[in-house]
Amino acid sequence: MVNETIISVRNLVNRFGDQVVHNGLSLDVRRDEIMGIVGGSGTGKSVLMRSILGLQKPTSGVITVLGQKIEYHKPGPSRCWGVLFQGGALLSGLTVQENVELPIALYSDMPLETRHELASLKLLMTGLSLSVADKYPSELSGGMRKRVALARALALEPKILFLDEPTAGLDPIGATKFDELITYLHDNLDLTIMMITHDVDSLFGVCDRIAVLVDGGVQVGSIDETLDSDHPWIKEYFGVPRAQRARAAAGERHHGE
Amino acid sequence: MISSYLNVEDQHDRLIVGVRGDWIFDNVLALEDATASVVPHTGQAVTFQCDGLDDIDIAGAWVLYDRTEQLSELGIKSELIGFKAAHFKFLQHIIDAAAIREYEAPLDKPVRPKVLQGAVENLGRATSAHIEDLGEIARSILDGVRRPSLIMIGETIKQVYLTGVQAIPVVVVITFLIGIVTAHQAAGQLEKFGASVLVVDLVSISITREMGVLLAAIMVAGRSGSAFAAAIGVMKLNEEVDAMRVLGLNPNQMLIVPRILGLVIALPVLTIFADIAGIAGGALIAVGSMGISGLQFIERVAYSTDLTDFYVGMSKAPIFALLIAAVGTLRGMQVKSSAEELGLKTTTAVVQSIFMIIVADALFATLFTRLGI
């Protein structure tokens, strides 16, 4: 059970005209792990996630999620995954409450009151106050929209969580609380997380393994393995002062526990 | 069903509830039934023993927690043991932080519909909205034409191409077909009076005075009215219009005036094409199936229709163009919040511009009749 593969990507090729973004990329995400996806601009982080979600048709390759083969624009295991898009991607014609209740209404028969309470619970979990419940997404700030989107992603108690730059645009308190929430959920629930992020604090603080997208492929390893890598770009990425400080801070936190 | 999630043991002073099975989202309905069946007598305390749990998630934990809250409201003490206390500390923390709003069904307020008052209020609101719209578009145009820049010329030419040149094929085809239909219908009636040759007069006069310009304008309203509203609307949603302002560019100058100017130039030219195509359609029927010779056709056209008729039609074109472009760009600029609003504004732009074209056409008809033109 422990090393069961939840997401399997085999020989993924994504070509756009002359530009080859992924050239035979293979990746396994194991059950119950938090995997950080890292890479420079244009290395295809979002393309990778979109391919896994069935939103992008790969040039070639086979992707399987929870045993189900993923096909372009065909429903995937929607009952079992939750996705946090980069901008939130809330439905603009629905209120906050309606946005979070929507998946629950789609996938269960529970009565209105229960649905309402569960949705409210998820909103509170992400640190929002219920005063936003009747607002429309256009009336919220970017950070609040993100939290609503997270609440929606968690609405169905998913087995897998996909996060695209979740802490981008959040203030330091919000970003820390987010990391804490993810850690809490992960520790207490059977949850596999794939997280695209540039936030080095999240990477060191939260992730079990890191997948670095380089040269059309991917280098996967634990934090220590990744830091030991000889690849020039990886060394540069983790060598910058920001990353060094984050590493040191995370190290201190771990020692302090 | 119920017993697969709970088993209840009544021990005089307390209820021992063995919690087991999968307390997860998928089973919430059944779990609520199960917890509702835990009904202690007054004076009894409840112990929830959770070692038998196979699986639990936040939804399931919530159902259990909710029941303990309900019991404590009734003055009944309950405790949870043998379980990851972490889950409940978590829920406790959230719920202490903010009370979960109880679901309130909307109260049905008995309201006597004030029909007359409502209608008058709506009329007033609509009127003032229209006046505001008029002011807004006038201001946009005037703002856009002061201190014109050279970029506007390029934008205007682009609009002439998009709204005019690209519309030629479709306008020509529809007016050609209408010419055919009009001639055909007229022929049927005029033959009874032995006045078949008057088909030519009818087609030629009606196309040049009315149908050519009206059809071209309606097609353009559909094509360009919606295009203007949608393009500008999306720019507003993407904050592109704001980006222009902070760069020192004037959106009225860059977006609105070129579109209006471009259409005012394009529609008269389209009208010419429409007139020719319409008359050609009539010719097809006249010469093709009514036995009127080509020469006879041309002579008849020259006899019945003079330049005044052509000018009457053409004079309407710039006005129609102004109406379409003003409504289209105005509605686009009014998009603020959502994709749904964008769709609504685009639809409104098309419907309103067509409506206003036809109203204007009727006014023109009255005017020209009075003037004897």
CA angle A43, A46, A48 (to 5 degrees): 80
Among A1, A95, A112, A157, the strongest candidate for a mutation testing the B interface, having the largest count of B CBs within 10 A, is: A157
> Interface pTM (ipTM) of the complex?
0.80
**In a 3-state reduction of DSSP, which class is residue B97?**
helix
> What's residue B1's pLDDT?
35
Chain A residue with Cα closest to B24:
A157
pLDDT tens sequence across B49-65:
888 787 888 888 888 88
> What's residue B98's pLDDT?
47
**In a 3-state reduction of DSSP, which class is residue A62?**
strand
Chain A positions in Cβ-Cβ contact with residue B86 (cut-off 8 Å): 188
Chain B positions in Cβ-Cβ contact with residue A130 (cut-off 8 Å): 98, 100-101
**In a 3-state reduction of DSSP, which class is residue A133?**
coil
The minimum CA-CA distance between B102 and chain A, rounded to whole Å, is 8
A75-83 average pLDDT score: 89
Contacting residues for A240 by C-beta, under 8 A, at least 6 apart: none
A91-113 average pLDDT score: 90
> What's residue B146's pLDDT?
84
Distance set, CA B163 to CA A236, A242, B267, B316, B324 (Å): 52, 53, 8, 17, 11
What gap in Å lies between CA B227 and CA B26, rounded to an integer? 46
Locus of tokens 């596999």: A192
Token pair, residue B266, equals 């394009």
Name the percent of chain A lying above pLDDT 70. Answer: 98
Burial class of residue B143, CB neighbours in 10 A (0-12, 13-18, 19+) = middle
Among B24, B26, B54, B58, the strongest candidate for a mutation testing the A interface, having the largest count of A CBs within 10 A, is: B58
Q: Measured between alpha carbons, how far apart are the two ends of chain B, in Å?
A: 87
What gap in Å lies between CA B204 and CA B302, rounded to an integer? 9
> What's residue B132's pLDDT?
92
Burial class of residue A80, CB neighbours in 10 A (0-12, 13-18, 19+) = middle
Number of C-beta neighbours around residue B168 at 10 A: 16
Burial class of residue A70, CB neighbours in 10 A (0-12, 13-18, 19+) = buried
pLDDT tens sequence across B105-141:
566 666 777 888 889 999 999 999 999 999 999 999 9
Chain B residue with Cα closest to A92:
B338
> What's residue A158's pLDDT?
93
Burial class of residue A122, CB neighbours in 10 A (0-12, 13-18, 19+) = buried
Chain B residue with Cα closest to A103:
B25
B144-171 average pLDDT score: 92
CB-based contact B62 A121, cutoff 8 Å: yes
Closest by CA position to A83, among listed A40, A50, A57 = A50
B11 forms bridges with which residues in the sheet?
Answer: B14
Name the percent of chain B lying above pLDDT 90. Answer: 54
CB-based contact A118 B90, cutoff 8 Å: no
Among A93, A116, A156, beta carbon nearest to B103: A116
Among B32, B62, B338, beta carbon nearest to A92: B338
What gap in Å lies between CA B256 and CA B339, rounded to an integer? 21
State the angle between helix axes of B307-333 and B115-145 in degrees (0 to 180), rounded to the nearest 10.
Answer: 100
Interface of B with A (CB under 8 A): 24-26, 28-29, 32, 55, 57-59, 62, 66, 84, 86-87, 90-91, 94-95, 97-98, 100-101, 103, 336-340
Residue A226 has pLDDT above 70, yes or no: yes
pLDDT tens sequence across B295-308:
999 999 999 999 99
What gap in Å lies between CA A115 and CA A121, rounded to an integer? 10
Chain B positions in Cβ-Cβ contact with residue A118 (cut-off 8 Å): 28, 59, 62
Are B101 and A123 in contact by the 8 Å Cβ rule? The answer is: no
> What's residue B339's pLDDT?
81
Q: What share of chain A is helix, strand, coil (3-state, %, to 5)?
A: 40, 25, 35
Number of C-beta neighbours around residue B63 at 10 A: 25
What gap in Å lies between CA A92 and CA A90, rounded to an integer? 6
What gap in Å lies between CA B330 and CA B288, rounded to an integer? 46
CB-based contact A188 B98, cutoff 8 Å: no
Chain A positions in Cβ-Cβ contact with residue B32 (cut-off 8 Å): 110, 114
Cβ–Cβ pairs < 8 A, chains A and B:
71
Residue B2 has pLDDT above 80, yes or no: no
What gap in Å lies between CA A196 and CA B134, rounded to an integer? 49
Alpha helices in chain A (DSSP H): 45-53, 96-107, 112-125, 142-153, 172-188, 200-206, 223-227, 232-239, 241-256
B317-343 average pLDDT score: 92
Among B56, B338, B345, the strongest candidate for a mutation testing the A interface, having the largest count of A CBs within 10 A, is: B338
Among B28, B57, B58, beta carbon nearest to A108: B28
Locus of tokens 């917890």: B35
Residue A159 has pLDDT above 70, yes or no: yes
Residue B95 has pLDDT above 80, yes or no: no
Contacting residues for A150 by C-beta, under 8 A, at least 6 apart: A84, A126, A166, A178
CB-based contact A124 B100, cutoff 8 Å: yes
Locus of tokens 């050519």: B212
What gap in Å lies between CA A217 and CA B92, rounded to an integer? 45
**In a 3-state reduction of DSSP, which class is residue B9?**
strand
pLDDT tens sequence across A187-198:
877 889 999 998
Computed over every residue of chain B, the mean pLDDT equals 88
Chain A positions in Cβ-Cβ contact with residue B26 (cut-off 8 Å): 108
> What's residue A8's pLDDT?
94
> What's residue A1's pLDDT?
47
What gap in Å lies between CA B207 and CA B278, rounded to an integer? 6
> Judged by CB atoms within 8 Å, which residues 117-136 of A form the interface with B?
117-118, 120-122, 124-125, 129-130, 133, 136
Number of C-beta neighbours around residue B108 at 10 A: 6
Among A108, A122, A188, beta carbon nearest to B87: A188
Among B84, B90, B340, beta carbon nearest to A93: B340
CB-based contact B32 A113, cutoff 8 Å: no
The minimum CA-CA distance between A94 and chain B, rounded to whole Å, is 10
